[in-house]
Structure 1
Amino acid sequence: MLLLPHHNRYPYSSINARSDYSWPEGKRLAFYIGLNIEHFAFGAGLTHTPTVPIPAPDQRSFSWTDYGNRVGVFRLFDLFDSLGLPASHLINTTLFDYAPDIVAGINRRGDEIIGHGRTNAERHGYMWEADEARFLAEVRDAIAEKAGQDVRGWMAPWMSVSHVTPDLLDEAGFKFLMDWPADDQPVWMKTRKGRIMSVPYPLELNDSPQMLVRASTPSEFEQMIIDQFEEMLAQSERQPLVCGLALHAMVVGQPYRLRALRRALRHIVDHPQRDRVWFTRPGAIYDHCVALPAGTVTGG
């Protein structure tokens, strides 16, 4: 028998063989928005680009990403306000000093900050364990000090992890992570000193890979959002599910993409079965699941 390397964080579990439960007020589908608000170094490190990269310092790509922090994110705040939608924000901590208006907008809305590293110009999965532990503590402490929130959730820049990242997150006080897109329900993951919850985060229903990598149009992404929501709403009759929508300020913050996103979100908030939908944030999903009877949530 061939034994493949395995992470041993959670056992295999068929979604059809799990305990049933509901979200608050008997709702069946949890819907949340995860907005990535990212900061890049000028002429150094990793970056996003909507076009062919040019040699460093590549001011085109830097300026395009900075558009998200100067314009796009505030257009998105306005959109969420107009629809009465909560959101969570995966934010690089270097933005706390660079763009304090963003943090003020998040706190004004009462939204949740998810730890998302210092900058998306770097990945941390290559770090030695002691360096990674300091890195996670630095992010945690910056969110508490600069944003006034006790951070509980984590999403790594570029979804980069090391073999010990879940252990270090647990030991640093994080309660859940979002960079293991293996399920449509929360899953407990084992750590060397206990456990940490994986809250579903979409790699597919994500504007960056869909529109920057796969070249989907805004209208195509709009239809993806609607189709994902409709199918998961139907499937949630059998199981409680989490429908996350991953966005980036510099991607859907562009006006022509924002218009398509507005149509998709309007479809969701005006849905005739919205009484079956819990419009929420990842931290609230964690709180609900951790309060369920032991063994209800699958995994470690």
Structure 2
Amino acid sequence: MDTIPGHGRYGYSALPQRPVYDWPEGRRLAVYVALNLETFDFGSGLGAELAPGGPQPDVLNYAWRDWGNRVGAFRLAEAFDNLRLPASVLVNSRLYADCPGLIEAFRARGDEIVGHGRTNAERQGPLDEAAERALIAEATATLTRHEGRAPAGWLGPWISQSRVTPDLLAEAGYRYLLDWAHDDQPVWFATRGGGRILSVPYPQELNDIPAIVARKDSARDFSDMIVDAFDEMLAQSAAAPLVMGIALHPYIVGQPHRLRPLRAALAHIASRRDDVWLTTAGGIADYAGRLPEVGG
């Protein structure tokens, strides 16, 4: 019988059968906001679409996405400030040149800066190993130069990975990755040479691109999803520690008609700060990486 191809990164583990542990101060639900700050090519390359844009140059969709870096990101920063919410900011390295001052505004907030490739006009998965290694090295060097330290985490543009991406990330010094939405707890991935890298859960349901752009959910639908997921996961976390991520893009939820319901959903979460751990993806990776109970 033919063998079904697998990834070999982790084995099967049922959540109810795993060891139970706590997050800091005895909390059982860790919540983080992932804000994607991205830049795109004009007249070529990939990019989310508000509406079918026709032939390149696609001014309609390019300008819509650019609005997020010029306006929407700062509205979200203000909302985070008012609610005292930290953020993991997923950064395309070309943004330092394309949008001077944008990443600096989030650095001033003390947010975590996470590697997110060079630009979201490209995917890394189709590249050969040498080219993918070069992409990771270039983006990492730029973030390190501007932030004064190397990023600990990585999310591939468009959640794109090759079969060797976890190996390349571990070899480049990354401690965690965010591309896999296969669990509600951190999971160790095996890498070549006997190493490992931690997978921190990143959402594809509580993510405004699949929800609003792909499924055409309304802003209030998305807000209700966040509230319902939070309330349910807080109740479920009595039995096991869980991670809840919320993935946002400023050109989508920074829009005024979407920001208002989003702000209400985030306020609902912030109102329970005494019951949950409001943190960053890197905070989760640092804490989980020291716990012998974490596995997968």
After TM superposition, give the deviation of residue 2 of structure 1 in Å: 5.5
Corresponding residue number in structure 2 for 1:282: 281
The residue correspondences of 1:32-43 to structure 2 (distance < 5 A) are: 32-43=32-43
Tell me the distance in 2 between the aligned counterparts of 1:100 and 1:176: 27
Q: Which amino acid aligns with 2:213?
A: L
Change (3 A) 1:103 1:148: farther
Corresponding residue number in structure 1 for 2:122: 122
- CA-based RMSD: 1.0
Check conservation: 1:113, 1:149, Cα contact below 8 A. no
- Output one character per residue of 1:30-71: Cα deviation in whole Å (capped at 9) or x when no partner: 000000111000001111111112110011111000000000
Corresponding residue number in structure 1 for 2:295: 298
Identity, % of aligned positions: 52
Check conservation: 1:26, 1:276, Cα contact below 8 A. no
Tell me the distance in 2 between the aligned counterparts of 1:148 and 1:71: 26
The residue correspondences of 1:21-36 to structure 2 (distance < 5 A) are: 21-36=21-36
Q: Which amino acid aligns with 1:88?
A: S
Tell me the distance in 2 between the aligned counterparts of 1:263 and 1:2: 52
Corresponding residue number in structure 2 for 1:180: 180
Query: Secondary structure of 1:167's partner?
Result: helix
- For the pair 1:110 / 2:110, whether they are aligned, the reply is yes
Tell me the distance in 1 between the aligned counterparts of 2:100 and 2:277: 30
Check conservation: 2:53, 2:59, Cα contact below 8 A. no
Tell me the distance in 1 between the aligned counterparts of 2:70 and 2:147: 18
Tell me the distance in 1 between the aligned counterparts of 2:104 and 2:95: 11
Q: Which amino acid aligns with 2:31?
A: F
Query: Secondary structure of 1:276's partner?
Result: coil
Corresponding residue number in structure 2 for 1:270: 271
Query: Secondary structure of 2:277's partner?
Result: strand
> Normalised by the size of structure 2, how large is the TM-score?
0.98
Give the number of equivalent residue pairs. Answer: 295
Q: Which amino acid aligns with 1:276?
A: D
- Output one character per residue of 1:147-168: Cα deviation in whole Å (capped at 9) or x when no partner: 3332010000000100100000
The residue correspondences of 1:67-216 to structure 2 (distance < 5 A) are: 67-193=67-193, 194-216=195-217
Tell me the distance in 2 between the aligned counterparts of 1:266 and 1:145: 35
Tell me the distance in 2 between the aligned counterparts of 1:30 and 1:235: 12
Q: 5+ unaligned residues in a row in structure 2: which ranges?
A: none
After TM superposition, give the deviation of residue 276 of structure 1 in Å: 2.2
Check conservation: 2:125, 2:161, Cα contact below 8 A. yes
Q: Which amino acid aligns with 1:266?
A: A
Q: Which amino acid aligns with 2:288?
A: C
Check conservation: 1:96, 1:147, Cα contact below 8 A. no
Tell me the distance in 1 between the aligned counterparts of 2:234 and 2:3: 37
Q: Which amino acid aligns with 2:109?
A: R
Q: Which amino acid aligns with 1:124?
A: Q
Check conservation: 2:202, 2:245, Cα contact below 8 A. yes
Tell me the distance in 2 between the aligned counterparts of 1:41 and 1:131: 19
- Output one character per residue of 1:108-150: Cα deviation in whole Å (capped at 9) or x when no partner: 1000111101000001101111111111111111101123332
